Amino acid sequence: GESVGLHLPTLSVQEGDNSIINCAYSNSASDYFIWYKQESGKGPQFIIDIRSNMDKRQGQRVTVLLNKTVKHLSLQIAATQPGDSAVYFCAENKDDYKLSFGAGTTVTVRA
Amino acid sequence: EPEVTQTPSHQVTQMGQEVILRCVPISNHLYFYWYRQILGQKVEFLVSFYNNEISEKSEIFDDQFSVERPDGSNFTLKIRSTKLEDSAMYFCASSTGTGGNQPQHFGDGTRLSIL
């Protein structure tokens, strides 16, 4: 069936280290993927997106990798900072209107 | 940077009462959405709206729910007769288009508490 999920519900990372957040999806028809960050009391904040015709996209301190062979998506955060502490969601879209969200990974940055 | 704004931030309502949640999408966006997030769960799609009509809705969006764009700036979600299980965060989102490279941008939500 269709689902977007994350491998781990929590991730603890030392400040300054790199973070890797993983997401698995099962719908091979999905062609657009987005990572959102949600801080406490806030709505999902767009971080970075990628289309299915790409396997890597870089932003400022973030990189998204897409492996369509194994239906896997990851978000890499370089030099993690305390402000990166949040819940991270991957979401998929298959050229329709709705986004399907995964369950989220809570990232905690240790000082 | 333009943003989606939602009011009120918190709404407390008696079960069975009607509630209207309000949103002002980003001004040049054409597609509007409502999502909800029950405490501790993932964000769920409710409905999308384009060109003054519903373009897609989920199973959650039953006859108790309706959406409206009453003027050029507001986008509302109405729940006609609220139930306890309607308690959740409700997020409005908007986008310039659908699909790739046109991400949906979200407001900070309305926390709806049904008593």
- Sequence letter at residue B69: R
pLDDT at A31 over 80: yes
The CA radius of gyration of chain B, in Å to the nearest whole number, is: 13
Chain B nearest C-alpha distance from A107 (Å) = 15
The tens-digit pLDDT sequence of chain B (115 residues) is 779 999 999 999 999 999 999 999 999 999 999 999 998 888 999 999 999 999 999 999 999 999 999 888 899 999 999 999 999 999 999 999 876 668 999 999 999 999 9
* Bond from prior residue into B8 cis (ω within 30 degrees of 0): yes
Contact: A98, B91; criterion CB under 8 Å: no
A7 falls in which pLDDT band (50, 70, 90)? low
Place of tokens 């949103």: B23
Dist. CA A33–CA B32, nearest whole Å: 18
Written as one string, the DSSP assignment of A70-85 is TTEEEEEESS--GGG-
User: Quick one: tokens of B6?
Assistant: 């939602």
* C-alpha to C-alpha distances, B33 to A67, A97, A107, B66, nearest whole angstrom: 29, 9, 27, 12
Chain B nearest C-alpha distance from A41 (Å) = 7
> Which residues of chain A does B41 touch, with a Cβ-Cβ cutoff of 8 Å?
103
Dist. CA B32–CA B48, nearest whole Å: 6
Contact: B99, A31; criterion CB under 8 Å: yes
Dist. CA A62–CA A47, nearest whole Å: 8
* Phi, psi torsion values for A35, nearest 5 degrees: -105, 135
